[in-house]
Structure formats: structure tokens, C-alpha cells
Structure 1
Amino acid sequence: MANSGVMKLVCLVLACMVVAAPDAVDALTCGQVVSKLAPCLTYLRRGGSVPVTCCIAVRSLNAAAKTTPERRTTCGCLKNAYKSVRGINVAIVGGLPGKCGVNPPYKISPSIDCSKVR
């Protein structure tokens, strides 16, 4: 079962890399977004205490997405993750940045229009 989860994550990373490839101008890729947030996966499914490694990843990702294109890429990758990774609790995801002391310039939600992220 654990192997199945790892394979799904690898497939998601590869899919995000393919989707992000045409936007070579963007310094931040879907592969980077997904790999940075890997320590958060168990929390995003089950809740509980936020792992320290997860908050470090969230803060790192927020700091890495400095430009509008990078924030849009991050937004799109997060939306794809909602669709691709089973069991993510949407209510938990929206509160994760705040629990890690981060205030991104957009609400993390599966319904966000990433083209409007600045």
C-alpha cells in the first residue's frame, strides 16, 4: 500500500513537470512544489499535529514563489495535487499556511482561479 502512494506521488511529480515545461520562464516548477510539500502529505490526509518538516517546506515554498508567474505555477500545481492525490482533506489544506505562520497572497483551494493570482 505504501508503494502505491509513493508511485502516485512520483507520477504526480512527473505529470506536473510535463505540464510546467512550456512555462520555462518560471523558475519554480510543479516538480519542486510537489517535492517540497511531500512531508505534508500525511497531515493533509489525516490532520493532527503539523510536522515541523511540513512547516519548513511550506515556508520554503512560500519564499521561493516570489514572482506572479511562480505563484501561479504553485497555485496550479496545488490544484492538480487536489485532483491527483487521493484522500487530501480540503478543509485541512486551507488552514495549513496559517498553522505554519505563512500568509500566501491567495487562498489555497481547489476552486481558485490561478490566472488571477498576483
Structure 2
Amino acid sequence: MKGLVISVIVAVTMVQFMAEPGETTVVSCDEVDECLVYCVPYLTSRTGYPSALCCVGLAKLKKIAVTTAEKQTACSCIKEAAAGFPSIKEGVASSLPNKCNVQFNYPISKNTNCHE
């Protein structure tokens, strides 16, 4: 009986360390797509600036993807969506946060590792 109680305590402790509060993924690819849909024209062109709606969406994405898990999910969603647009310019994509004055600590790119 004592061994069972210790096993349960150890299991509960492990679960608490694995699932810290705030580390659940609540960001969906649909939400990420909605945030970035207005950026596609800018990302696929050679010149110009992102639209105001693009920058608003980028700022919204930053607000909804806060935890590490959410950022990783958003990054994976961005990579998946970018794969459908082979004409996206990597240099343009990497400059998007600066052009919108929205600082990210994860890339807007299809060629990145989302789980760094």
C-alpha cells in the first residue's frame, strides 16, 4: 500500500511538471491564418509595404500566441500555410515584423525549426 501511495505521488508530481499552468496550446491554425491573411499580398510581392490590416493581424497573433507551446503551434501553422504559397519571399517574410513594428521572438518563415 505504501508503494502505491508513493507511486501516485510521484505520478502526480510528474504531471504537474509536464503540464504547467499556461502551457496548454489554445492557438489554432485557423486563428493564425485569420491573423496573417492580409499579409499574403505583401509576402508574395517584391516591393511595397504591408497593409495596415496585415500589421494589425500580426499584432493580434503576438497577443494570442504567448506561451512557448502557443508560439510553437503558431510557428507550425505559419510553416504549413507558407508551404501553400511557393512565391513567398523569405527576405520579405523575415522583415515583416520590423515593417509592422511588431517584435516577435519566433520567425515568420517556412524554413525554420519551430521547436527550438
Per the alignment, residue 27 of structure 2 pairs with 28
Per the alignment, residue 65 of structure 2 pairs with 65
Per the alignment, residue 3 of structure 2 pairs with none
Which sections of structure 1, spanning at least 5 residues, go unmatched? Answer: 1-24
Deviations 1:23-64 (A, max 9, x none): xx4111011101111111111111312111110001110111
Per the alignment, residue 38 of structure 2 pairs with 39
SS of residue matched to 1:34: helix
Q: Which range is displaced more, 107-116 or 53-62?
A: 107-116
SS of residue matched to 1:107: coil
Identity of aligned pairs, percent?
Answer: 32
Shift of 1:74: 0.7
SS of residue matched to 2:98: helix
Q: Which range is displaced more, 77-86 or 66-75?
A: 77-86
Q: Which range is displaced more, 71-80 or 41-50?
A: 41-50
Per the alignment, residue 109 of structure 2 pairs with 109
**What is the TM-score when the length of structure 1 is the normalising length?**
0.72
**What is the TM-score when the length of structure 2 is the normalising length?**
0.73
SS of residue matched to 2:104: coil
Which of the two has greater helix per residue? Answer: 1
Per the alignment, residue 20 of structure 2 pairs with none
Which sections of structure 2, spanning at least 5 residues, go unmatched? Answer: 1-23
Moved over 6 A (4+): none
Q: Which range is displaced more, 105-114 or 55-64?
A: 105-114
